[in-house]
C-alpha cells in the first residue's frame, strides 16, 4: 500500500485539511465526471499519497458511499495489498528518479489488465520524479488511456512537471493546514510527542513531521542547536560531522540552519526575534554591515546546499564547505552577536 502505513492512512482519512479534496472527488464521481487523470498538487508531506490511496480505494470499491466501504471484496483486496487492478510507480530505494522503464512497464500492465469491474488505477507518486523520457512515455497514455483507467499523479513542485503532462490532468489541490490545525491533528495522532519542532522542520507539513519523528528525527532540533558550540570546539571532526549530517535528515538540518541564520540576521538588524518578542540592540553601523554580510553569505551557501540536495550534486562536500565556513566565522559572529 505504498509507503503510507495503514495506521497513518486511518488518521489521514480524517485529516480536516484533506476534506475539500475528498469532496471534490466525491462530487466528480457522483456526477460521473471524474477525469481519467488526476493531478494531486500540494506541499511535500501534506498527505498527497494518502489521498491518492483513498481515491483509489473509493473508485474501486464495489459499494462506494462517502467513503470506501472497507468490507466488499475489492476493499478486502485493497486492504490485503493484493488488489489486481492497481499499479504503483514511485522512486526505487537508493534512487532519486523514477526510471523510465518503470513507467513503460506500468503502461504495458495497464493495457493488459482487464479490471475486475472495468476499473483500474495507476498511481505515480511523486510524478515530478519522472525524467523527460518517463513523462514522454506517459504522455500517450494520458492522451488515450485504456478504457476504465484512472491515473493519479502527485506533485509537490508543478514547475518540474512538463506542461504537456500537467495540462492533461484534472487538478486536485491540497492546502497545507494552519500551524494550529496541524498541531491539533498531530496531538490526536500521538499526544506524547512535542510536535512544535518537527512541524517547523517539516515546513508545516504534518505527514512530513510524522515521518521525521517516526524515522528518529525528533531530536534534530536539539542536535542542531548544539552545532554552533560543536563547530567552535577545536577537537571537532568537521568532516565526520558533515558526513553524518548529509546521511541523516540533511534537508531538515539545512532548514534548521536557514532559520537560525535568518534569526541572527534579524537580531543583527535589531528586528524583534520571533520566539521571544524582544527587540535587540543593533550593532554599530560599520560592524553591523560586516556581520550581516557574513550571515547572508552563509545563508546563500545553505540555500545552495538545499537546492543541490534536490539534484545530484555532492551533498557531503556542500555540508563540509558550509560547516568549515561556519566554524571559521562563528567565533567573531557570535562575539559580535548583539545581546537580546
Classify 216 in phi/psi space as left (phi over 0), alpha (psi -120 to 50) or beta.
Answer: left
Cell 512535542, located at residue: 194
State the nearest-atom distance from the C-beta of 116 to Zn ion, in Å: 12
Closer to Zn ion by CB, 72 or 200: give it.
Answer: 72
Closer to Zn ion by CB, 56 or 302: give it.
Answer: 56
32 CB burial (10 A radius; 0-12, 13-18, 19+): exposed
Instruction: For residue 184, give Cα distances in angstroms to 24, 71, 143, 178, 196.
Output: 24, 30, 42, 10, 11
Closer to Zn ion by CB, 57 or 149: give it.
Answer: 57
Here the cell at position 290 is 560586516
Closer to Zn ion by CB, 69 or 292: give it.
Answer: 69
State the nearest-atom distance from the C-beta of 279 to Zn ion, in Å: 59
Q: Is 305 in the site for Zn ion (CB under 5 A)?
A: no
Q: Is 72 in the site for Zn ion (CB under 5 A)?
A: yes
Beta bridge partners of 152: 38, 123
Q: Is 86 in the site for Zn ion (CB under 5 A)?
A: no
Alpha helices in the chain, H assignment, sequence order:
6-12, 19-30, 48-60, 73-79, 100-112, 132-143, 163-166, 179-189, 196-201, 206-214, 220-225, 227-232, 238-247, 250-268, 285-310, 315-336
Nearest in space to 123 (alpha carbons), one of 165, 146, 153, 79: 153
Closer to Zn ion by CB, 74 or 246: give it.
Answer: 74
Of 29, 69, 200, 230, which lies in the binding site for Zn ion, with binding defined by CB under 5 A?
69
Q: Is 152 in the site for Zn ion (CB under 5 A)?
A: no
State the nearest-atom distance from the C-beta of 71 to Zn ion, in Å: 6
Of 34, 50, 61, 124, which lies in the binding site for Zn ion, with binding defined by CB under 5 A?
61
Q: Per-residue string for binding with Zn ion, 17-46, x by CB under 5 A?
A: ------------------------------
Q: Is 60 in the site for Zn ion (CB under 5 A)?
A: no
Which stretches of the chain bind Zn ion, using CB under 5 A? Answer: 61, 68-69, 72, 75
Amino acid at each position: 500500500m505504498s509507503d503510507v502505513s495503514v495506521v497513518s492512512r486511518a488518521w489521514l482519512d480524517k485529516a480536516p485539511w484533506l476534506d475539500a479534496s475528498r469532496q471534490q472527488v466525491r462530487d466528480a464521481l457522483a456526477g460521473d465526471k471524474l477525469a481519467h487523470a488526476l493531478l494531486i498538487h500540494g506541499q511535500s508531506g501534506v498527505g498527497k499519497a494518502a489521498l491518492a490511496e483513498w481515491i483509489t480505494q473509493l473508485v474501486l470499491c464495489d459499494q462506494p458511499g462517502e467513503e470506501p466501504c472497507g468490507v466488499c471484496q475489492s476493499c478486502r483486496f485493497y486492504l490485503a495489498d493484493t488488489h489486481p487492478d492497481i499499479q504503483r510507480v514511485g522512486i526505487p530505494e537508493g534512487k532519486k528518479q523514477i526510471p523510465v522503464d518503470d513507467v513503460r512497464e506500468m503502461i504495458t500492465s495497464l493495457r493488459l489488465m482487464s479490471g475486475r469491474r472495468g476499473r483500474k488505477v495507476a498511481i505515480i507518486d511523486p510524478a515530478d520524479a519522472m525524467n523527460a523520457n518517463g513523462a514522454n512515455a506517459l504522455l500517450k497514455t494520458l492522451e488515450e488511456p485504456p478504457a476504465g483507467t484512472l491515473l493519479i499523479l502527485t506533485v509537490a513542485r508543478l514547475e518540474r512537471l512538463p506542461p504537456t503532462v500537467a495540462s492533461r490532468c484534472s487538478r486536485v489541490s491540497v492546502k497545507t493546514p494552519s500551524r494550529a490545525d496541524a498541531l491539533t491533528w498531530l496531538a490526536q495522532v500521538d499526544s506524547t510527542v512535542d510536535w512544535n519542532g518537527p512541524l517547523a522542520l517539516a515546513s508545516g507539513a504534518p505527514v512530513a513531521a510524522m515521518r521525521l519523528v517516526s524515522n528518529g528525527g525528533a531530536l534534530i532540533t536539539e542536535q542542531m542547536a548544539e552545532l554552533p558550540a560543536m563547530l567552535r570546539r577545536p577537537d571537532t571532526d568537521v568532516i565526520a560531522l558533515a558526513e553524518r549530517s548529509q546521511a541523516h535528515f540533511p534537508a531538515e538540518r539545512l532548514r534548521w540552519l536557514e532559520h537560525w541564520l535568518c534569526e541572527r540576521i534579524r537580531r543583527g538588524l535589531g528586528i524583534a526575534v520571533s520566539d521571544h518578542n524582544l527587540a535587540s540592540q543593533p550593532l554599530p553601523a560599520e560592524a553591523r554591515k560586516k556581520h550581516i554580510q557574513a550571515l547572508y553569505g552563509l545563508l546563500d551557501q545553505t540555500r545552495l546546499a538545499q537546492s543541490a540536495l534536490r539534484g545530484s550534486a555532492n551533498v557531503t562536500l556542500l555540508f563540509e564547505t558550509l560547516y568549515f565556513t561556519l566554524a571559521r566565522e562563528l567565533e567573531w559572529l557570535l562575539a559580535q552577536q548583539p545581546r537580546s
